[in-house]
Structure 1
Amino acid sequence: MGAGRHSAGVWGGKKVGIVVAVGIAVGSWFYNAIKPPPPKICGSDGGPPVTATRIRLKDGRFLAYSESGVPKEKARFKIVFSHGFGGSRSDILRAAPELIEELGVYMVGFDRAGYGESDPNPKRSLRSAVSDVEELADALELGPKFYLAGFSLGCHAVWASIKYIPERLAGVALVAPVVNHRWAGFPKDLAKEVYKEQQVGDQWSLRVSYYAPWLLHWWMKQTWLPTSTVIKGTVPLPNKLDLQKHIESIENGTSEMKKKLATQQGLQESFYRDMKVMFGKWEFDPMDLKPTPFPVHLWQGDEDGLVPVRLQRYICSRLSWINYHELPETGHFLSSVPDFGDGVLRTLLLKSSST
């Protein structure tokens, strides 16, 4: 009997050991499976070459930028531009050269952290986005105040700048700013209704970005899981001009080329960190922002297939101090609208400076 108990005890111990070993093996496999690859930093061994002008930030990272317009020493207006998802430092407010010269406009676009030739930031956040904007403006000696504009997802840096550095801003332009459905200021019924109108893959991508950001890189790699239609390039575009622009960019190769340049240091450092910051848990709700001493303008197309116009309208109804400009029969890519950039500059700079 004693020997039997001993054998049973040994076998029981072995079973526990096997279970623990299997658990460790599975855990190790899963950890390695969800762990993103290291970034290919520009200028490092095996990394992309450095071709852009860059500044060194206080934390040691490099930030790439591109200047346009009149020389900043002669500029009457100085604008920093925050590009959207998949964009780059070359993205700015496109306007007629004659108007830029007439108004005396200097613009600087920059690769946001992890994009293009700007170093990745493993601690990316709303505050770090603001810090990058402010440090760039200071390094280029743009003065105590400057104008700030952003497009689409890049507007998270604009909202955060309104929150954290209002004393540095002379005026703000938000162009088709992306919305986080989980901002507390939205009525729950409205946010839920609009959320469910999205493609299933987009719903799940936003859900993972919010609840399990550590899983996002793995999730987006799985072809059998519902993932972002924006990244896959299959997002429905109800506006005819948007759809035409999308098809043309695929056919002429510009879409693939832009994506390759934007993500050359790694999808994790550009696209996925963007999603984690934009659709994750915000430190503040934009709808709680107080009226600003500077003008804020927001442009939105009523046929935008990426940013729900109903949520944008609600934000601007709550923030009545925002000058809301809704364009009829217009989609997300507002730069395709004839003379759009000219109108933004005239509105932001001339009307703002006269108030």
Structure 2
Amino acid sequence: MDDTSAGDGTLLVTTPDGRELEVLDGGDAAGFPLLLHGGTPTAAVRYRPLDEAAARLGLRLVTYSRPGYGASTPRPPTLDGPRVAEDVADVVTILDALDLDEFLTLGWSGGGPRALACAALLPARCRAAGTLAGVAPYDAAGLDWYAGMGPENVEDFTTAAQGRAAYEELLAQSLTPLFTATADDVAAAFGGVLTPTDAAAMTGDFAAWTAETFRRAGAQGIVGAVDDGLAIVGPWGFDLTDVRVPVAVWQGRQDAMVPYEHGAWLAAHVPGAEAHLFEDEGHVTLIAQVDVVLADLIRLAGLAGPGQG
């Protein structure tokens, strides 16, 4: 597909249906491709520690703004609502535009289901997948989906489950503090979903990047976040039992955004998944372990190490 470059590693890639996707290309330009799926809300904004970690490990870091975020064209609403699996078609478009074949993938928080979708639906191309504090399916059998979740996220997802109209009304009010937050006040904007463990990590460069990411995510208003939330609580459009590539599940108990039990459930239900479950990690603090997470992903994929593949 046609693509244009902004000269800073940001590309606009055109999909077969005429939409544009905002793509950020970094890390080791000659490295093995790693596709990162950000959380909710999210946008493709460079984070130097992550970019440098990927480069150290010989990974080409590719991420993108999902439809409705940043400069990525929203998808037209459908009667069935958005599906996580729909993002896999966009992933294929991006990979093909960058002339990339096989890849690794990592999804953080709301990006976790997208990484699992790649593992299930692109087994010939996806060598390994990881979820980092990723959500479990809304209809997960035996999981109390809201147990341990902060009140803001409980309200968010219960409203999403009521449908688009109610969810749009809520997000029009609740996301304004996040979309306008500065590095100095982003922690307060999270409210009760930020545990003390995570609040201690929401400082410095990470807080600045988080604030910039939220501002970029809200460039078109709430449309991207609405579709993200609806996709998470709706049918994902693929079956976890179809996953046949290596998967790692990373989760901390000090997490009120995506509770620990989500990670434990995924580790038990994704075929062959390796569990990395911690008592003392939160939603944010796991990012500080990115070198370990990415090195483990390389191992799972059977790659020899930095620069290989």
Q: Normalised by the size of structure 2, how large is the TM-score?
A: 0.79
Partner-residue secondary structure (3-state), 1:233: helix
CA deviation after TM superposition for structure 1 residue 55, in Å = 1.0
Taking structure 1 as reference, are residues 350 and 204 closer, same or farther at Cα in structure 2, changes over 3 Å only?
A: closer
Partner-residue secondary structure (3-state), 1:113: coil
The one-letter code of the counterpart of 1:114 is G
Superposition pairs of residues 290-309 of structure 1, within 5 angstroms: 290-292=242-244, 294-309=245-260
- State the match for 1:178 in structure 2: 135
Taking structure 1 as reference, are residues 166 and 91 closer, same or farther at Cα in structure 2, changes over 3 Å only?
A: farther
Instruction: Pick the aligned partner of 1:84 from 32, 36, 39.
Output: 39
The one-letter code of the counterpart of 1:88 is A
How far apart, in 2, do the equivalents of 1:247 and 1:104 lie? Answer: 28
Q: Tell which deviates more after alignment, 84-93 or 156-165.
A: 84-93
The one-letter code of the counterpart of 2:99 is E
Deviations 1:83-128 (A, max 9, x none): 1113322357945848734x43211111111111111112442232
RMSD: 3.2
Partner-residue secondary structure (3-state), 2:26: strand
Taking structure 1 as reference, are residues 336 and 197 closer, same or farther at Cα in structure 2, changes over 3 Å only?
A: closer
CA deviation after TM superposition for structure 1 residue 231, in Å = 11
CA deviation after TM superposition for structure 1 residue 148, in Å = 1.2
**Equivalenced residues, count:** 282
Superposition pairs of residues 49-68 of structure 1, within 5 angstroms: 52-68=10-26
- State the match for 1:347 in structure 2: 296
- State the match for 2:201 in structure 1: 245
How far apart, in 2, do the equivalents of 1:70 and 1:167 lie? Answer: 23
- State the match for 1:155 in structure 2: 112
Partner-residue secondary structure (3-state), 1:271: helix
Partner-residue secondary structure (3-state), 1:80: strand
How far apart, in 2, do the equivalents of 1:196 and 1:351 lie? Answer: 31
Alignment partner of 1:265 is 2:220: yes
Larger Rg: 1
- Stretches of structure 2 that go unaligned for 5 or more consecutive residues are 1-5, 175-186, 305-309
- Stretches of structure 1 that go unaligned for 5 or more consecutive residues are 1-48, 224-229
- State the match for 1:275 in structure 2: 229
**Identical aligned residues as a percent:** 22
Taking structure 1 as reference, are residues 258 and 175 closer, same or farther at Cα in structure 2, changes over 3 Å only?
A: same
Partner-residue secondary structure (3-state), 1:59: coil
Taking structure 1 as reference, are residues 58 and 155 closer, same or farther at Cα in structure 2, changes over 3 Å only?
A: same
CA deviation after TM superposition for structure 1 residue 315, in Å = 2.6
Q: Normalised by the size of structure 1, how large is the TM-score?
A: 0.69
Deviations 1:32-62 (A, max 9, x none): xxxxxxxxxxxxxxxxx99842111111011
How far apart, in 1, do the equivalents of 2:274 and 2:61 lie? Answer: 22
Q: Tell which deviates more after alignment, 319-328 or 295-304.
A: 319-328
Matched-pair contact (CA < 8 Å) for 1:239–1:305: no
- State the match for 1:324 in structure 2: 275
How far apart, in 1, do the equivalents of 2:47 and 2:204 lie? Answer: 21
Taking structure 1 as reference, are residues 200 and 106 closer, same or farther at Cα in structure 2, changes over 3 Å only?
A: closer
Partner-residue secondary structure (3-state), 2:85: helix
Alignment partner of 1:211 is 2:162: yes
Higher RCO structure, 1 or 2 (CA under 8 Å, sep 6+): 2
Alignment partner of 1:128 is 2:96: no
CA deviation after TM superposition for structure 1 residue 291, in Å = 5.0
Partner-residue secondary structure (3-state), 1:260: helix
How far apart, in 2, do the equivalents of 1:92 and 1:313 lie? Answer: 28
How far apart, in 2, do the equivalents of 1:258 and 1:236 lie? Answer: 18
